[in-house]
Structure 1
Amino acid sequence: MSQELPAMSSFSLPIRIYWEDTDAGGVVYHAQYVAFLERARSEWMREQGYGQELLRREHGLVFAVRAMQVDFLRPARLDDALEVGVVLHECRRASAVFVQEVRCGDVLLLTATVRVAALDAENFRPRAIPQPLLDELVALQATTS
C-alpha cells in the first residue's frame, strides 16, 4: 500500500490541468498522473544537482521505473492547480524508492510508491549508482509514516 508523504515534504512541483490532460468530461486521464509523477521526480533530481542529461553524460547512468504502485483517491479536473510531492524513501546500491503524492489544495488525490533502477546509459543493464551520488542520495532519505 502506498504511503502518504510526511507533512515536511522536501519537494513539490506545481502542475496546472489543461484540456490535453483530461477526458471529454474534464477529468484527468489516469495515465496522465504517471507523467506528472515522472516530471516531479526528474525535477527533484535536478534540484539535487543531477539532471537527467548530466547523469547520462557525466556518469553513464539513467534511471528507469522498475515498479509502481498508485492509489487513485479522488479525481483532478480541468483548471485544477496541483502539487506533486516527492520524497526519497530508500536508496540502495542500484535502485531507489520514492514516495509521491498529488494534492489539490489540502485534498489528497493520489499516492504512489515508485521504485527506479539504475541502468547503464549505453546498454540499459543494471549497474551501481556511482559512490558520490549514492552517498548524497542516502543522505536525502526521509522516513515516511
Structure 2
Amino acid sequence: MGEASGRIQGDAHLFPVRVYWEDTDAGGIVYYANYLKFTERARSDMLRLLGIDQRAMLDADDGAMFAVRDVTVEYLSPARLDDDLVVRTRLIALKGATITLEQDVLRAETVLVHTRVRAAFIGLGGGPRRIPPDIRTAMAGLAARDGEEET
C-alpha cells in the first residue's frame, strides 16, 4: 500500500491540494468537474491512513470495492490557479453496505465547494456487500476521535 497524503485531525481527514494549470479553464478558474477528482483523491488517501488497502480488497478471492452511489455538490466560490486548498472529509453515516461522507474543499477557512457522497461496498460483479468488520472498525474509529489529533 502506498504512502498516504494528508492527516487525520479530530473527526476529519485533511487532504492538501494545489491548483495547477491542468485543473483550470482558460480564465484560471478550477473547472467544476475537477472538484470531484480532488474529493476522490482525498477519500482514497483517507482510507489509506485508516489502514484500509483498496488494492488488497480488489485482489482478494472475493474481491470488493467502494463505488460512489450518489453525490451532491454545492459550488459556493471558485478556486483559482496556484491556490492551496484542503479537502476536509468527515464520516457522516456508516451503515451495513454504505458510507456517507461530507467533503468540503476549503481555501484557508472558506468553504468553496461542499459535497455529500454516498459510497456502496460492492463485489466485483456489482452486487452490494456488507462492509467487513475490520473496515467498519477503522471507519468507526474516525467518527469516534472527538478532537484527538493524529499525524
TM-score (norm. length: structure 2): 0.83
Aligned residues: 136
Deviations 1:43-78 (A, max 9, x none): 000000013212222462200110111111000000
Q: Are residues 1:96 and 2:99 paired? A: yes
The residue aligned with 1:4 is none
Q: Are residues 1:55 and 2:57 paired? A: yes
Gap regions ≥5 residues in structure 2 = 1-8, 145-151
Moved more, 52-61 or 20-29: 52-61
The residue aligned with 2:109 is 106
Q: Are residues 1:82 and 2:82 paired? A: no
Q: Are residues 1:45 and 2:40 paired? A: no
Report the alpha carbon displacement of residue 35 of structure 1 after superposing the two structures with TM: 0.3
Gap regions ≥5 residues in structure 1 = 1-6
TM-score (norm. length: structure 1): 0.86
Q: Determine which of 65, 69, 86 is the counterpart of 2:68.
A: 65
Alignment of 1:10-29 (within 5 A): 10-29=12-31
Task: State the distance in 1 between where 2:64 and 2:51 align.
Answer: 14
Report the alpha carbon displacement of residue 132 of structure 1 after superposing the two structures with TM: 2.5
Task: State the distance in 1 between where 2:83 and 2:138 align.
Answer: 34
Q: Secondary structure at the match of 1:29?
A: coil
Deviations 1:85-132 (A, max 9, x none): 111111111000001100111221011110000010x21211111122
Report the alpha carbon displacement of residue 8 of structure 1 after superposing the two structures with TM: 4.5
Cα RMSD (Å): 1.8
